Amino acid sequence: MSSKYLKAKVASNEKIAEGIYRMVVEGDYSANPGQFYMLRAWGVEPFLSRPISIHGITDAGIEFLYEVRGTGTEIFSKLKAGDELELLGPVGNGFDLETIKGKVAVVVGGIGIAPMYEVMKHIKDSTVDFYAGFRDEVYSVDYMKEYADNVIISTESGSVGHKGYVVEQLDASKYDYILSCGPTPMMKVVKEMGEKVGTPVYVSLESHMACGVGACLGCTCNTKKGKERVCKEGPVFLGEDVSLDD
Ligand SMILES: Cc1cc2nc3c(=O)[nH]c(=O)nc-3n(C[C@H](O)[C@H](O)[C@H](O)COP(=O)(O)OP(=O)(O)OC[C@H]3O[C@@H](n4cnc5c(N)ncnc54)[C@H](O)[C@@H]3O)c2cc1C
Ligand code: FES
């Protein structure tokens, strides 16, 4: 990874659901699925760049799927084709797809779906059941189906699929590996379900980040080895190694 921010041009930036955007940035990229980039599209304010997962890498460039939460993502949502932004990455470890094989469950909640498109594309010689949970509106699932053997959808409102939480649909004992990304309480339930039946669960963590390159220690989490940096040793951890308690 270059330690310098690179400038690149937005190829497209599309609203795909309420508050959810898919942005394609021009250029040639290669990365480990599950890694992310630090992005900025501003000069001084806001001070910090924002970590956004790699959603997909194609011939057209790199895709990011993001939810507008505050100032930074609001600025991203206003970008148009031809606008410039700066990227640093790829950052973090990503998923170890040499190890993850067999019967695999991918369990996501909301915008936790973002890294899993590129991840599922690279899971080979395996059966992949994709469990996706949303509050109400369902997004991105259609093209995810390309890489999933089964798709199981839940919405809290009951508008699509099972009414309730995505974990209510999951039987962890059916799987060799489970990969999860989404709200921490959801990943905590998935991790505990896996631990009960001895199925390894990989979680992709979120944390507030300042430098994104392991220097500021602003993003640490508690693991069996002590404090580790989500931006450097993570964002992907083996569930049993990491604490998801506050
Ligand atoms: C490794 C990693 C990968 C990520 N990938 C994606 C992605 O692919 N798509 C996506 O939409 N988001 C992703 N995020 C989350 C994204 O970085 C934050 O939503 C974003 O930084 C918010 O910036 P903002 O300026 O819009 O909001 P801010 O104004 O900074 O914050 C708005 C609200 O969101 C909360 N918040 C901000 N950042 C985080 C965070 N990292 N974790 C939890 N709460 C936060 C704040 O506490 C505040 O309540 C990722 C985070 C990490 C650490
Ligand atoms: S964000 Fe600085 S060490 Fe992780």
User: pLDDT (tens digit, 9 = 90+) per residue, 91-147?
Assistant: 999 999 999 999 999 999 999 999 999 999 999 999 999 999 999 999 999 999 999
Interval 169-193 mean pLDDT = 97
- 165-192 burial, b for 16+ CB within 10 Å, e for fewer? bbbebbebeebebbbbbbebebbbbbbe
**Final residue before a domain boundary, out of 91, 119, 151:** 91
- Of all protein residues, the one whose alpha carbon is nearest to atom 28 of ligand 1 is 70
**Final residue before a domain boundary, out of 59, 91, 123:** 91
Q: What CATH number corresponds to the domain at position 167?
A: 3.40.50.80
Is the Cβ–Cβ distance between 30 and 59 less than 8 Å? no
Ligand 1 environment, Cβ below 6 A: 36, 46, 50-53, 65-67, 69-73, 111, 114, 206-209, 230, 235
- Of all protein residues, the one whose alpha carbon is nearest to atom 52 of ligand 1 is 206
Evaluate whether residue 39 is within a structural domain.
yes
CA of 236 to the centre of ligand 2 (A): 15
**Coil, strand or helix: which one is 18?**
coil
pLDDT band at 3 (very low <50, low <70, confident <90, very high): confident
The burial of 235, by beta-carbon neighbours within 10 Å (0-12 exposed, 13-18 middle, 19 or more buried), is given as: buried
The verdict on 116 and 182 lying in the same domain is yes
Does the pLDDT of residue 152 top 90, yes or no? yes
Evaluate whether residue 140 is within a structural domain.
yes
Number of domains in the chain: 2
Please spell the DSSP secondary structure of 54-123, one letter per residue. Answer: --EEETTEEEEEEE--SHHHHHHHT--TT-EEEEEEEES----TTT--EEEEEEEEGGGGTTHHHHHHT-
- Which helix (DSSP H) or strand (DSSP E) does residue 223 occupy? strand 220-223
**Residue 84 belongs to domain spanning:** 6-91
Ligand 2 environment, Cβ below 6 A: 209-212, 214-219, 229, 231
